[in-house]
């Protein structure tokens, strides 16, 4: 089954650079014994915002799964925790699409405090379109590739984020 222009959500751009979603709050059940948002809920918040990006802007996500039996799967994710998020704290999430091809997309997202504009966390991730029938990658339809490429182009002028592509590991001190 194919999504038609009448059944597709999202739009063909131009896309805000970055795309920002407001209205998130650190819920009481997200707070751990350290008194701040638990690490797992950062992922939940980023995922909830990603779904908004996919559906509201790109026409992918749940609508795509329901109509076509395929949808985006996260293949790899790297988060940086820059500052605590406390119970009740309001935050927004900003997205930039760094790259995309006919099956995959690479994005960078920032969680930003509404109180003072400070970055609280970042996520860099790679997603792939997957068939729910075969469980294997499948190309996006042409209209989706066009939208992904348009978003990459619209976000290309953003300043590079220092967290993108950073390795993980213990940095050893050199001894003299």
* DSSP 3-state of 96: strand
Residue 5 has pLDDT above 70, yes or no: no
Task: Report yes or no on whether pTM surpasses 0.75.
Answer: yes
Q: What is the pLDDT of residues 81-132, one digit of tens each?
A: 999 999 999 999 999 999 999 999 999 999 999 999 999 999 999 999 999 9
| Separation between Cα atoms, residue 151 and residue 18, nearest integer Å | 9
Distance set, CA 116 to CA 20, 32, 83 (Å): 16, 23, 12
Q: What is the pLDDT of residues 60-95, one digit of tens each?
A: 988 888 889 999 999 999 999 999 999 999 999 999
Q: CATH top-level class for 19-155?
A: alpha beta
CB within 8 A of 17, min separation 6: which ones?
Answer: 96, 154, 155, 157, 158
């Amino acid at each position: 089954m194919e999504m038609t222009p009448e059944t597709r959500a999202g739009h063909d751009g131009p896309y805000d650079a970055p795309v920002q979603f407001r209205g998130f709050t650190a819920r009481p059940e997200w707070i751990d014994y350290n008194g701040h948002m638990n690490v797992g809920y950062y992922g939940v918040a980023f995922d909830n915002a990603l779904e908004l990006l996919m559906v509201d802007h790109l026409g992918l996500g749940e609508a795509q799964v329901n109509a076509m039996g395929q949808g985006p799967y996260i293949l790899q994710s790297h988060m940086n925790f820059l500052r605590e998020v406390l119970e009740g704290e309001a935050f927004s999430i900003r997205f930039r699409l760094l790259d995309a091809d006919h099956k995959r997309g690479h994005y960078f997202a920032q969680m930003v405090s509404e109180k003072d504009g400070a970055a609280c966390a970042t996520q860099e991730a790679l997603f792939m379109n997957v068939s729910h029938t075969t469980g294997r990658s499948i190309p996006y339809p042409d209209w989706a590739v066009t939208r992904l490429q348009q978003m990459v182009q619209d976000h290309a002028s953003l300043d590079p984020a220092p967290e993108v592509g950073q390795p993980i590991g213990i940095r050893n001190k050199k001894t003299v």
